[in-house]
Amino acid sequence: MSTYERIYEVVRQIPKGKVTTYGNVADLAELYGKARLVGYALYQVDKDSDIPWHRVINAKGEISYSPLRRGMDYLQRNLLENEGIEFSAEGKINLNKYKW
């Protein structure tokens, strides 16, 4: 569980209106090369949690959807847009502008 807490703490530090990638989170959490763990950790984050999991995206600047979270897929985008982050037509985020 300590590993997950690392990740959660990093994610919690992401300022509003910014996004970051899994690899970046992994680095900040000192989990170099273990980006999968970040995704796995966020996978079990509950929506009631205070963790802005929606601000974490993949290296391409796109939202990584989960089959298990289908139905909530639109929610992530909605939350980000609600924070002032804009999506391109492809649903991608301009990392040059919004990357943390």
Partner DNA sequence: GTAATGACCCGTC
Partner DNA sequence: GGACGGGCCATTA
What pairs with residue 62 in β-bridges?
A: 92
Decide: is 8 part of the binding site for DNA (CB under 7 A).
Answer: no
Query: Using CB under 7 A, which of 10, 19, 61, 80 touches DNA?
Result: 61
Contact in structure between 22 and 39 (CB atoms under 8 Å): yes
Whole-angstrom distance, CA of residue 52 vs CA of residue 50: 6
Shortest distance, CB of residue 81 to DNA, whole angstroms? 15
Q: What does each C-alpha distance from 63 to 1, 21, 23 come to in angstroms?
A: 25, 10, 14
Query: Using CB under 7 A, which of 59, 78, 81, 97 touches DNA?
Result: 59
Shortest distance, CB of residue 88 to DNA, whole angstroms? 10
Applying CB under 7 A, the residues found at the interface with DNA are 1-4, 21-23, 26, 33-40, 42-45, 53-54, 56, 58-61, 63-69, 76
